[in-house]
Structure 1
Amino acid sequence: MANITELANYAQASAEQLGIKKFDIYGSSVDETSVQVDTGEPKQVKASNRSSVMVRVWNTDNTMGVTSTTDVDPKGLELALKTAYEASFFGVKDNIPDFSPEATTPIAAKTEETAPQAPVSELIETLIKAEKDLLAAHSAIASVPYNGLSQRDVNRFYLNSGGARRNEARSYASVYLYTRTEQEGKKPRSAGAFRISRSLPQLDISSCLQEAADKTVSHLNYEKVKTGKYRVVFSADAFLSLLSAFSNLFNAQNILDKQSLSTPESLGKQIASPLLSFYDDPLHPDNVAAETFDGEGTPTRRLPIITNGVLSNFIHSAGTAKRMNAQPTGHANIGAKVSVSPHFYHVTSETPAEREYSLDNAENVIFIDDLQALHAGVKALQGSFSLPFDGWLVSNGKLTSIESATVAGDILELFQSIIYIEKEAELTPGGICPRVWVDNLSIAGE
C-alpha cells in the first residue's frame, strides 16, 4: 500500500479536479499466512493479501456519499471519489456524519510493531510438532481436529481534506489447538487453548499445548450435575464473552437506535456490584492488536465503562457523540453507515471485597470455562441468556467435569450478584480479566 503522504496527494489532486471540497478516506491492508495440519500432514495452507478502502464525499448541500474500493493508485482513488460524490446526492438528510473533531489531534508517537514473516515451511513444521506433542500427552486424545497457526501484517490509514493524516502498521502471530478424545463407553470430550503474540518466535506454543492437554484430561471423568441455583465462577474468557454479547448496554449507537437496555439517562446509575470495574483499553501494553485511531481518525484511549458498579461512559463515534453532547471515544467503524464497537476489555475490581474466595477450598461451586452458542442463546434486548457451557463442579477443591449443562440468567442481575473478582488476571484474545464469582445463578443439568 502506498504511504500516507502519497495517498493524500493523490486524493487531493483528484478531488480538486472533480470539484470536491470535503472528503475522507479510511483503509487497511492485511497480509496473512495460515496453516492447518491433520495427523502429521498439511491440511490447508492459505496466503492472502486483502485490502479495503472506504471513501466518503460531502457535496455543497452537505449530504454524504460512500463507496468502497481496493484500488489506491491515482486512477482508483479518482474513480472512488467520483462515485462517492455522485452517491452523495442520494445521501441521508438527518444525522449526517461529519469529520471527527479529534481527527487532527496529535497521537503520541508509537513505533511500528512489525516483524518479519516466517516461511510457510516453518509454520507447518511448528504446527505438526505441536499436534504430535498434544496427541502424545494422553492416550485418550485421539485427534486435534481443529488447529491453526497464522501470522498477519496489518496496515491502516486515515486521511481527510481537513488535514488529518494517520497511519500505523503491526504484526502478530496466533495459534489454536482443539482436541477430541475417544474412550470406550464414554462420550467424546474436547478442550482447546489459544495464544497470540507479536511474532512467531515470541508465540508461547508450549503453554498453549499444555493448557489444551490439561483441560482435555480434566474432562475425561465427567458426571451429571443436578439442576438448581449455584455459586458460579466464570473464567476470564467466559466472562468477557458475556460482556461482548451485551455490549449494547454501553454502545451509543445501539442506545440511540433504541436497541439497548440502556438509555441516555442511564449514565451515572449503579448497574452492577461495586466490585465490578471495567475499561475498554485498546492501548493496553498486552494488546498485540492495538489500534491507535478508529475509522474516523479519532485517537483511541483507555475508557472507563463501569466504575465501581456505576455506568460511567458509552462508547461513541463522532456522530453519536454529537447527538448525545459527548466526546468521540475512538470506537467508530466507517461504511455505508458508521457503526460503533469495542476494542479490548480490561476487567478489574477497585473496591475491596468483604471476603475472598478460592477454588482451592470451594464447595459445590460451578466453574464455567467456556460459553457456547452465544449467537443463539443471548437475547440482548431482553438482557437474558441461556447458554451451554464447558466446566466443572468444584467440591473440596476437586474439579469434576460436567457432562452437559446450561447456565441461564439476566445480565443485570448477574452484574449485581458478583461477590468476588479475583486479583490475578488472565490475557485472552478479547481482553484481560480475572475469574469472576457470581452468586445464585441457574444451572440446568440432569
Structure 2
Amino acid sequence: MNESESIQAPSLRGRLEALAQSNGISRWDLGASCSTDTSVQVDRGEAKQMKGAQRSAITVRVWNGDGLVGITSTSDLSEPGLAKALAGARDASAFGNPDDIPAFSPLATAPLAPLEQPIQETISILTMLETLKGAEAKLLDSHAAIGTVPYNGLAQRSSERIYLNSDGACRQQKLTTASLYLYARAEETGRKPRSAGAVRLAYGAGSLDIEGCIQEAAERTISHLNYRPIETGHYTCVFSPEAFLDLIGAFSSLFNARAIIDGVSLSNQESVGEQLAVPFLSITDNGLNPGNVGASAFDGEGTPTAALALLEAGVIRNFLHSEATARHFGVSPTGHAGMGAKVSVGADWFEIGPTPGSGGGQQGLNQNQHQSPLVVIDSLSALHAGVKASQGSFSLPFDGWLIKDGEKHSIEAATVAGDIRTLLRGLVGFEGAAKVTPDGLCPQVWAEGLSITGEA
C-alpha cells in the first residue's frame, strides 16, 4: 500500500462481502491497520539513524458451518489478496478450537464517542534531523557533566485502523502522532555515570514541547549527580506519577478478565466487590481522556472505547473484557480486546487518583516538610523481570532520592520490593496535582512500609 493511498472502509467492506459470497462464506470479520513512520536519531551532532517505513497488517477471520473460527494474516488488500485470505481462513476454520470460540461484539455497530484528534501535516525527515540535532545540542549545553545523549529519537506517524464484519460493522479511524525522547548521560570525575530522560507526545512533530523535554531531561539527570548509598530498611515512599503508573500497569492482570479465566491473575471471577486498596483510591481505564494522544475510538473487535471504573473507593468494580470474556462473565464487552483466534485483552490509559469526596488520605502531604526519612521513587526498571504478576510480588531497581533531615540527595543504587496488595492497602495519600504522562494520569502517590535494599 502506498503512502498516498487511503483505505476506504465502506468500499473495502463491499468487496469483502462479494468475495465472501462467491466463496460460500457467510460469517467473517476483518481488522486492518496501516501506518507510515519516519524517525531519526543523532549522536553528538551527527545523524545516527534516519528511517522511513510503511507498514500494514490485515487479519481476517472466518466462521465455518460448525461455528469454528479460522484466521489468516496478510498485507495484500488487492482483490486476489483478499480472496486468498478469506479462503485461507475458511480452510483453517476446520482446525479451530471448539472450546474457545470468539463471536462478534454486540457493540460493534454501536455509536462511537467523538474524539478530538487533529490530523497534522508531517514534516520532512531532514527537518526532523535538524530539530533533533538542536535539541541534543541544547541538552549537552545545559550542564558541564552531561557528555552524551546516548538514547534519543524524534518520530512521526500517520496511521489508519479499520474493523469490518459481515453483520454490518464498519469502523475507521485516522490518526497522526509524534514523539520525542531524550535520555542524557552525565559523569563527574571519580563518580559513576548517571542517566535520566524525558519524553513528549503530540499529534504532530510541529506541536511537540521540545523545550520542555530538554529542560526535564536536564533537570532529572543533574538531580542524580549528588548520589549516596542508602541503608537497607523499610521506608515511607513517594512514587512519581510515571513510576506508580508503571507499577499498576505491570499488575494490570488484576483487572484483566482474560488473565482471570486463564488462571494467571490475583483476582477471580468473584472478586468484583472486594476491597483491594485503601478507600480513598480510585482507578479508571479511560482511553478517551484528552491527554491520551494515541487514543483508539474502538478496540480490535469494533467495541467502542469508553471510560471503565476498575477501582472505586478501593473496591474492584469492573474487569477489562473482550467479547468472549464478557460472554463468560455475563456482562458487556468493555472495548479492551485485540483481535485473533484467541482474543487478547489489555488496558488503555489509566486515571489514578483520590476517590471523590474521600479527601485523598492524609492531607497536606509535602516531601519538603516530612520529618522522618523519605524515599522518592522517580523511575522503575526491569519491570518484566522483577514483577511476578500472578503472585503479586515485585522487586525492582529504581532511580530516586532520599530526603532526610531536610537534605535531599540521589540514591546510588537500590531496589524496592513488596506485594502489590499490601502496597495498595498501605497507601498514605497523594501529593500535588495529577500529571498527564504517556501511560495515564496520576499524582504523586505516598505509601508506607516498603522494603528498600541498598547496594551492598
**TM-score higher than 0.5 here?**
yes
Instruction: State the secondary structure of the residue aligned to 2:422.
Output: helix
1:212-231 to structure 2, matched below 5 A, reads 212-231=217-236
Aligned to 1:327: 332
1:211 lines up with 2:181 in the alignment: no
1:419 lines up with 2:454 in the alignment: no
User: 2:36 aligned to 31, 38, 43, which one?
Assistant: 31
Q: Given that residues 24 and 56 in structure 1 are in contact (C-alpha distance below 8 angstroms), is that contact kept between their aligned partners in structure 2?
A: yes
1:169 lines up with 2:174 in the alignment: yes
Q: Given that residues 179 and 208 in structure 2 are in contact (C-alpha distance below 8 angstroms), is that contact kept between their aligned partners in structure 1?
A: yes
Residues 357-415 of structure 1: CA deviation (Å, up to 9, x unaligned): 11121231000000001111111111000000000001355420000000000000000
CA distance in 2: counterparts of 1:186 and 1:104, whole angstroms? 60
Residues 270-293 of structure 1: CA deviation (Å, up to 9, x unaligned): 000112101110000111101010
CA distance in 1: counterparts of 2:406 and 2:71, whole angstroms? 58
Aligned to 1:410: 419
Instruction: Please report how far the alpha carbon of residue 33 of structure 1 lies from its aligned counterpart in structure 2 after TM superposition.
Output: 0.4
Aligned-pair identity (%): 49
User: 1:292 aligned to 262, 282, 297, which one?
Assistant: 297
User: 1:445 aligned to 429, 436, 454, which one?
Assistant: 454
Aligned to 1:143: 148
Q: Aligned in 2, Cα 1:178/1:110: closer, same or farther, shift over 3 Å?
A: closer
Q: Aligned in 2, Cα 1:112/1:180: closer, same or farther, shift over 3 Å?
A: closer
Instruction: State the secondary structure of the residue aligned to 1:50.
Output: strand
1:7-86 to structure 2, matched below 5 A, reads 7-86=12-91
CA distance in 1: counterparts of 2:225 and 2:114, whole angstroms? 50
Aligned to 1:391: 400
Q: Given that residues 113 and 297 in structure 2 are in contact (C-alpha distance below 8 angstroms), is that contact kept between their aligned partners in structure 1?
A: no
AA paired with 1:404? Answer: A
Q: Aligned in 2, Cα 1:440/1:109: closer, same or farther, shift over 3 Å?
A: closer
Q: Given that residues 283 and 300 in structure 1 are in contact (C-alpha distance below 8 angstroms), is that contact kept between their aligned partners in structure 2?
A: yes
Length-normalised TM-score, structure 2: 0.96
Aligned to 2:364: 356
CA distance in 2: counterparts of 1:76 and 1:164, whole angstroms? 21
Give structure 2 stretches of 5+ with no counterpart.
Answer: 1-5
Instruction: State the secondary structure of the residue aligned to 1:322.
Output: helix
Residues 179-210 of structure 1: CA deviation (Å, up to 9, x unaligned): 11121110011010011011112100101100
User: 2:378 aligned to 356, 369, 380, which one?
Assistant: 369
| Stretch of structure 1 that moved more, 224-233 or 354-363 | 354-363
Total equivalences in the alignment: 446
AA paired with 1:235? Answer: S
| Stretch of structure 1 that moved more, 161-170 or 104-113 | 104-113
Q: Aligned in 2, Cα 1:31/1:248: closer, same or farther, shift over 3 Å?
A: same
Instruction: Please report how far the alpha carbon of residue 111 of structure 1 lies from its aligned counterpart in structure 2 after TM superposition.
Output: 5.8
| Stretch of structure 1 that moved more, 389-398 or 85-94 | 389-398
Instruction: State the secondary structure of the residue aligned to 2:327.
Output: helix
AA paired with 2:408? Answer: L
CA distance in 1: counterparts of 2:223 and 2:382, whole angstroms? 22
CA distance in 2: counterparts of 1:53 and 1:32, whole angstroms? 17
AA paired with 1:76? Answer: G
Q: Given that residues 275 and 421 in structure 1 are in contact (C-alpha distance below 8 angstroms), is that contact kept between their aligned partners in structure 2?
A: no
Instruction: State the secondary structure of the residue aligned to 1:332.
Output: coil
AA paired with 1:197? Answer: A
Aligned to 1:302: 307
| Stretch of structure 1 that moved more, 297-306 or 113-122 | 113-122
AA paired with 2:125? Answer: V
Q: Given that residues 69 and 341 in structure 2 are in contact (C-alpha distance below 8 angstroms), is that contact kept between their aligned partners in structure 1?
A: no
1:246-265 to structure 2, matched below 5 A, reads 246-265=251-270
Aligned to 2:387: 378
Q: Given that residues 186 and 222 in structure 2 are in contact (C-alpha distance below 8 angstroms), is that contact kept between their aligned partners in structure 1?
A: no
Aligned to 2:159: 154
AA paired with 1:131? Answer: E
Alignment root-mean-square deviation, CA: 1.1
Q: Aligned in 2, Cα 1:110/1:425: closer, same or farther, shift over 3 Å?
A: closer
AA paired with 2:307? Answer: R
Aligned to 2:346: 341
CA distance in 2: counterparts of 1:427 and 1:76, whole angstroms? 42
Residues 250-289 of structure 1: CA deviation (Å, up to 9, x unaligned): 1000000111100011101100011210111000011110
Aligned to 1:4: 9
1:159-198 to structure 2, matched below 5 A, reads 159-198=164-203
| Stretch of structure 1 that moved more, 2-11 or 293-302 | 2-11
Aligned to 2:3: none
Q: Given that residues 235 and 370 in structure 1 are in contact (C-alpha distance below 8 angstroms), is that contact kept between their aligned partners in structure 2?
A: yes
CA distance in 2: counterparts of 1:279 and 1:398, whole angstroms? 36
Instruction: State the secondary structure of the residue aligned to 1:23.
Output: strand
Q: Aligned in 2, Cα 1:259/1:123: closer, same or farther, shift over 3 Å?
A: same
CA distance in 2: counterparts of 1:354 and 1:213, whole angstroms? 32
Residues 289-321 of structure 1: CA deviation (Å, up to 9, x unaligned): 010100000001000011110011000000000
Instruction: State the secondary structure of the residue aligned to 1:265.
Output: coil
Q: Given that residues 102 and 341 in structure 2 are in contact (C-alpha distance below 8 angstroms), is that contact kept between their aligned partners in structure 1?
A: no
Instruction: State the secondary structure of the residue aligned to 2:95.
Output: coil
Instruction: State the secondary structure of the residue aligned to 1:52.
Output: strand
Length-normalised TM-score, structure 1: 0.98
Q: Aligned in 2, Cα 1:302/1:175: closer, same or farther, shift over 3 Å?
A: same
Q: Given that residues 156 and 167 in structure 1 are in contact (C-alpha distance below 8 angstroms), is that contact kept between their aligned partners in structure 2?
A: yes
